[in-house]
Each structure stands twice: as structure tokens, then as C-alpha cells.
Amino acid sequence: MAPDQPQPSSSMKLAVLTSGGDSAGMNAVVRAVVKAGILKGCEAWIVREGYEGLVRGNLEAEAPFAPEPLPEITMKLHDPSFIQNLRFGDGELLRDGTGDHPGGRSLKGRYIVRVGWDDVRGWFAEGGTLIGTARSAAFRTPEGRLTAAHNLIIEGIDALVVCGGDGSLTGADIFRSEWPKLVQQLRADGKITDEQVTRYGHLRIVGLVGSIDNDMSMTDMTIGASTALHRICEAIDNINSTASSHSRAFVLEVMGRHCGWLALQASISAGADFIFIPERPPKVNPWEDELCEAIKRHRAIGKRKTIVIVAEGAQDSDLKPIHAEYVKDVLAERLGLDTRVTTLGHTQRGGRPCAYDRILPTLQGVDAVNALLESTPETPSYMIGIRENKIIRVPLMEAVEMTRAVSAAISEKDFEKAMSFRDPEFSDSLQGFHIVSELETEKKLPLEQRMRIGIMHIGAPAGGMNAATRTAVRYCVRQGHTPLGISNGFRGLLDDNLHELSWLGVDSWMARGGSELGTNRTQPDIDLGTVAAKFQEYNLQALFMIGGFEAFTSLLILENGRKYYPAFHIPMVHLPATISNNVPMTEFSLGSDTSLNALVDACDAIKQSASASRNRVFVVETQGGRCGYLATVGALAVGANIVYTPEHGISLDTLRDDVKFLKRRYMLDVKGKSEGRIVIRYDHLTCVLRLCLINACNEQKRGRIVGIYHRCHHQILKEEGGSLFDSRQASLGHTLQGGVPSPMDRARAVRLSLKCMAFIEKHHNLMLQQPTKSRSADRESAAVITIQASSVQLVPVDEVVAHADMKNRRGKRTWWEGMKELVEALVARPQLI
């Protein structure tokens, strides 16, 4: 995901609305659009209650509102119009819910409202949509849209951002295509002037997809889907323990009328036993036999709980709906299981947005404003999506039509076609679910192709390590391989700490944080010869390492060791798992999403405390070594005011500017409405800061610097803040490893782990083709699995080295480069220093 380039400023008035079913992240969209709009010189407006608000418009004249006069600011203001926009909002108007506002602005009878910078502050952490949403019957009629057009023109709005599902985006496209006709009609009716016809002849419109179902084509993710998945997985994790205690079966109904994404990802992430989704009905019809057979097999080996997930729109191949209640009856009557149904319903929509649903809408909201500024009558209405981790624009109607084609294919029973409209990850995931959930013992490989595969965790624990191990073990069992868990990394191997893992033994590992195998940072060169001897002794025919930078360097050592030790001539693969996300060439490591969510949770709590005491700056210290992923992306996800990254470091000049920025920001807060603010810094910053203060002392011998160099970062801020703000520090340390792995990390673990297993088999089979006595592994057979854009690639370890900054233990290039500037832009740092 890359932030955008700055655009020229404009005098445009742009409005944003949320429509259809609400989804987490809609508030972040509004926040991003308002802030990006103001930064580009636009006036920002919101439309309350979706299209219904457009149709209702403003029934009363706007109550006069003038922001309080600017406080005495002694410094030079670069951009007075920006400061005015900043002062326009105080963060209370849309939050108090009563419509009355002590500052003189009122929402009563007003649906199209101008907002300022601070009106949207802190919106990140709120679920749903604070500007309201609705399903508007009136907007579906030509008369309703004519009134809506009139209302927009009266208020002088010339650009609209619509965030909603496919219905809302269809409405947006119809509105824009009809716009010239509507303007002519309004002129003919004498409702607008000729100047208005000229000024508002072209409506700029752009769509963002807010939908928990992830059902929109041409984008990999929709806003809110990720949070909904969090809610579902939390529920299933909770149900798992009670199901196991009572040896019960649970049938869970989740949302998804035409799209099984939520059900599928939840089934994978929560380790469910069976799934029903609309796009892929059960293979066997009647399906009841298939379900009972699968569950019977699990129970026969001692599994105490059963989880079946049913998407709202699930059906059999004759399009007969499959209801959770009926599935329950089948399990209870045929298998005698004590079965309960849980319908998650609207709990899936609610709650605080997860990290992804703060970052995605922010990046898309910023791009939406750019798209509006660049829009001409000739350009189509765009939908802002995400593909291959990059924000993209696609013609809105094409995306809507493709989405509708999926439902049409399902209703024509053409399930292959329906699946083909989903992205390749969807079918990968479905296949992955079957592999890890089915206890299949009849399809084992021929004896000579079976292997003894060592599985090891290396480095610090990271969310998803156990899920990856569970997946590998289940795949091994299915294929007839022997999965050998090596406890405590290479140290454990030297201590003969190995044991065979079983299908049932890893059943509960999906949702477990930490490392079930045990992990440490020991590298194989601690005693390479003995490591090779152990490989031989245990007849290891492949090695699967899950871990961070140390796992990568371990693989490198083993590959180099092939020159001397034949035991290393086996396929070896490294699956990156580290909260630092510092393994070169991969955009995401397992654990990187979990830690981001841990950071967001912690910062939400800290912000609450900071807001309660007002005027407090919290300096939050993250982990991440010398890699700025967690600090930078985390800062965007929590709306931090300042971020220090290892890549950018710190200097006395930056510190001086930061203090200046904070002071000006607090001075501009409306009296009594200040808020807590977050500064994110990486863990080694103190040493760097001390060093630069010592250097400054040495060079300048300035008493003041000598005075402060003993103090911590937050103490310097506190001292400089004077009466304006106070400062405290919070070091998040190991809490960032997260308790329970996020659904995204779990699903990723399954997908990547299966690809690693396929890689190992491929290279093993290649080696089998060589004469037994002189078998040697080629360089390609020691690889790191990487995510590059949307593709997964296994890259030989020596090639990864070329992309590594070995000294700083990180990649030479990172996809989050430039995000620091976006963090700073969204708090107006450049405008205020």
C-alpha cells in the first residue's frame, strides 16, 4: 500500500456520505476524506444518513457559526485558510448525538453539513458510522435524485465520496450519469440559475466499498470485512472452549448472502470442521452423508468438539437453502451429538475497527480525494479498491457488474463460473480449508515419496507460528509424511528434543499465541557439525523453519554448510514469522498483523487515558529492532501525531520541530477540548537520542543541552510542553507479540504453510530422480517463502541476501516507505512547523 503524491490545492467543496449496511472503517473513511480534502484546499462536508440525507437536504438555514478567534499565536502561520479549517471543528458536533452544539452549530434539520479538521478527530477507534447511514427508497426514484441534485447545488457541493456496498455504488453511478439531465431539469424548473448550471455541470463522484462481506469484485478487500472476521473469530474462539468442555457440536451462522468469504476465512482461522458457502455447495448431494462422514472421522480419533460454519446464503447444488437449524438436526439425529446453533448476526458488524480497517480506509480515502481532484467529465466514476497491496482505481460500474455476475452465476447453478469471478486466493483458501480440516488417510503418497520433515520455530514468538505448524502437520499426515516437531530450535535439536506430532495433537494450535514448540535465537553455527550429525541421526529429509531474521540467517548457514555436510542436501524452507516484519523481500511476515492489532488496542486504551486527563502526550515505544514497520504502519493505524522510525532516526532539529509542532497544535485546540496525543517511537531511540545530545554537548557546550541529555524522551517533551501539555511514556515491549493471533495471520499461516509443503515435496521428488549415492540439493531447494504484491514466491536464500541490509537486519526496500509522510500530513505537521 503506497501513499499518494501531493496534489495542487483546489477550492472544491467535497462531501462524503456512508450508505447501505454499516461497516467498521467507515468513520476512518470520513476522517481521511475530510482531512485529505482540507489539506488539498477544499471545503469538507458530510452528508448525514446516506442518500436519505441528500434527498432531505437542509430544511433550515445554517445557524451562523464562526470559530472562536485564533488564540495569540506568536509564530508565523504558513496557511491561514488551513488554520481556519482546523479551527472550524472542535470534535463535538457529530459526536454528541443531540444535534445541539454549544458552539452555535446545529444538526437539527440539517443533513448536509460543513465540517472542520477536528470534527473527525479520534474517529479511527469508533465502529459503525458516526454520520449515519440509511437505505433510502426516495433516492431510488428519479424525483428523489432530482431533489438530491438540487440540495447539492444549493449547498455548492461539487464532489461526492460515497462509501457503501454494491447498491450504494450503483446509486452513485446512476446519479452521476443522470447528472447533466438533472441539472437541465432544475434549470427548466427555475430552481437554479444559469451560473449554477455552468458551475455545477459536472458532478465528481467516487466510490469506496464499505461492506463486511468482502463481496465486491475487482478489489481484494472491502472496508469492514476484516473487522467482521475478527468478531467472528473471537466468538468461535470463545465457543471452542465450551464446546470442548461439553464435547458439543456448534453450528454457527455467519453473514454472507452471496459471498462465502467471511465463512471461509473464519473456518480456516478458527479451525472449523465443515463449511457451507454459496459459491461452492457440498460435492455430494444429498450432502448430509458427506457432513456426517467427516464429523464421524474426527470424533473417532477422539476430537471432543465440532464446529460447522454456515454462510447466510449457503445452499446445496439444487439451490435449496442450507439452514443452521437443519444442520443441527442432522448432527443431533444422525450422530447423536449435543448440538447448538449460534447465529452471530449483528455482532459481526459492530465493535472497534481492527488495524487493517483503519489503514485501508485511510489510504483509500486519501486516494478518493485525489481521484475527485483529477476527475473530468470524460473520466469514468471510479471505485477505489486494493489489489496486490496497492491502492487502485477501477471503473465503478465494471466492478458492480462483475459483482452481480457472481450472484447470477450462482442462481444459474454455474458454480465454476461463480468461483472464477473470485480472486485466486479464494480458491486457494477453500482448498487449504479442506486439506487442514479433513482427516483423509486414504490418499497417502507412495512410500518412497514420503519424508521425515523437521519443523522448527526460530527467534521470538509471533502470531501464526502455531497455525503454520498445525497446517504443516495435518498436511504431512494426509500425505503420509512424518512431521517431527523440534522443540527449542537448534538448541533443542542438539539436545534431542524432537517428537512426532499428530493430527489431533495440534488441533487447538490455530488460535494459540506464542510458540507451542518453543523457540530461541540459537543459530545452527553454534555447532554445525553436530547439527548435521543430528539431521543424519533422525533421518531428516526436509526442514521447515518458521521464524524471523534468525530463521533466514539459519537457512543461509545451512545452505552454505551443504559444501561440507551432505546431511544438508535436503529441501529446506523458511516461512517468515516476526512482529518486526524485517525479513527481506516479503511484504508480510506471520505475526505482523497480530502485533499491529496489539499496538492499536494498546494505543486506544492509552488515548482514552490521555484524553481523560487532556493535554497529555503519550510517548509509546514499540518493538521492531531496526525495522520501522511496526512503528510506521502502527502510527498510521492509531493516528499518531509523531513517529520516529529506525530508518529515519532522530536529530536535534527534528526534536525541536516536533516540540514546536506539538505546542502549536495544543495552542490551536479549542479551549477545554484538547485531546491526548500519541507519539510512536521505536525501541532503540533512547540510545540514538542520547548520542545526538552528547554530540551536541561536545560540539556546542550549551548548558541547556547538558541539562537535558540525562532526561528521557518524554521528559524532554514534558519540560518543553510547559503549561500546554504534559507527557508520559508507555513501553509496550513484549505485549506486542499479541495474545491471540489475528485471523489474518492465521489464514496467511495456512496458505503459506501449504505452499511450503508443496515446495518441499517438489524438491524431494526432483532429488529422488538422482542416483541415490550422489544426491545433491540445488540452490533453489533452500528458499524463503515471500509475499510480493498478491503473489507468493519461494526465493532461493542466496537471492534474498542480495535484498538484505544484513547490518541493520532488514530489507533494503520496504513497501511502507513514504507512509511516515502520510502520518505527518494527516496531523498537519508540515502546516504547523
CB of 526 to ligand ATP, least distance (A): 55
Any contact of residue 315 with ligand ATP (CB under 6 A)?
no
What does each C-alpha distance from 48 to 52, 94, 111, 349 come to in angstroms? 8, 10, 5, 19
Closer residue to ligand ATP in complex, CB, 140/521: 140
Of 168-176, 281-289, 665-673, 770-778, which segment contacts ligand ATP by CB under 6 A? 168-176
Q: Of 170, 115, 171, which is closest to residue 148 (Cα–Cα)?
A: 171
Residue number with CB closer to ligand ATP (19 or 589): 19
Is 487 assigned a ligand-binding role in the annotation?
Answer: no
Q: What element of type H or E holds 498? A: strand 498-500
Give the one residue of 3, 21, 91, 454 binding ligand ATP; rule: CB under 6 A.
21
User: Are 258 and 215 contacting, i.e. CB atoms less than 8 angstroms apart?
Assistant: yes
DSSP state of 6: P
Among residues 2, 70, 154, 174, the one that binds ligand ATP under rule CB under 6 A: 174
Work out whether 127 is an interface residue with ligand ATP (CB under 6 A).
no
**51 is a site residue for ligand ATP (CB under 6 A):** yes
Minimum separation from the CB atom of position 428 to ligand ATP (A) = 25
Instruction: Work out whether 214 is an interface residue with ligand ATP (CB under 6 A).
Output: no
Q: How many residues comprise the chain?
A: 833
Which span (165-173, 428-436, 707-715, 739-747) binds ligand ATP, by CB under 6 A? 165-173
Cis peptide before 286 (omega within 30 of 0): yes
Least Cβ distance, residue 306 to ligand ATP (angstroms): 31
245 marked among binding-site residues: no
Q: Give yes or no for residue 164 binding ligand ATP (CB under 6 A).
A: yes
Nearer to ligand ATP, 51 or 200 (CB): 51
Nearest one of 22, 358, 383 to 211, comparing CA atoms = 22
Other CB atoms closer than 10 Å to residue 776's CB: what's the count? 10
Is 625 part of any known ligand binding site?
A: yes
Which residue is associated with the grid cell 458488524? 349
Number of residues lying near ligand ATP (CB under 6 A) = 17
One-character DSSP codes across 411-453: HTT-HHHHHHHS-HHHHHHHHHHHHHH----S-PPPGGG--EE
- Residue choice 123, 124, 139, 382 for contact with ligand ATP (CB under 6 A): 139
Q: What is the DSSP letter of 517?
A: S
For 310, list phi and psi in degrees, rounded to 5: -120, 120
211 known member of a binding site: yes
List 90, 119, 213, 601, catalytic entry: 213
3-state secondary structure 445-461: CCHHHCCEEEEEEECCC
The rounded distance, in Å, linking the Cα atoms of 484 and 537 is 13
Asked if 57 is part of the footprint of ligand ATP (rule: CB under 6 A), the reply reads no
To the nearest whole angstrom, how small is the minimum distance from the Cβ of residue 339 to ligand ATP?
A: 30
- Does 140 contact ligand ATP by CB under 6 A? yes
Looking at residues 616 to 655 of the shown chain, list those that interact with ligand ATP (rule: CB under 6 A): none
Query: Which residue, among 621, 595, 747, has the nearest Cα to 686 in the 3D structure?
Result: 621
Query: Is position 393 annotated in a ligand binding site?
Result: no
Residue 346 is labelled as binding a ligand: yes
Nearer to ligand ATP, 210 or 576 (CB): 210
Asked whether 332 and 338 are in contact (CB, 8 A), the reply is yes
Regarding 168 and contact with ligand ATP (CB under 6 A), the answer is: yes
Beta carbons within 8 Å of 234's beta carbon, 6+ residues apart:
none
Contact 622, 680 (CB under 8 A): yes
Neighbours of 135 (CB within 10 A): 15
Amino acid at 356: Y
Binding residue for ligand ATP (CB under 6 A) from 89, 132, 165, 547? 165
111 counts as binding ligand ATP under rule CB under 6 A? no
Residue number, 22 or 683, with CB nearest to ligand ATP = 22
Active site residue 90: no
The catalytic residues are: 213
Binding site residue list for ATP: 21, 135-136, 165-168
Site residues for ligand ATP per CB under 6 A? 19-21, 51, 135-136, 139-140, 164-168, 170-171, 174, 211
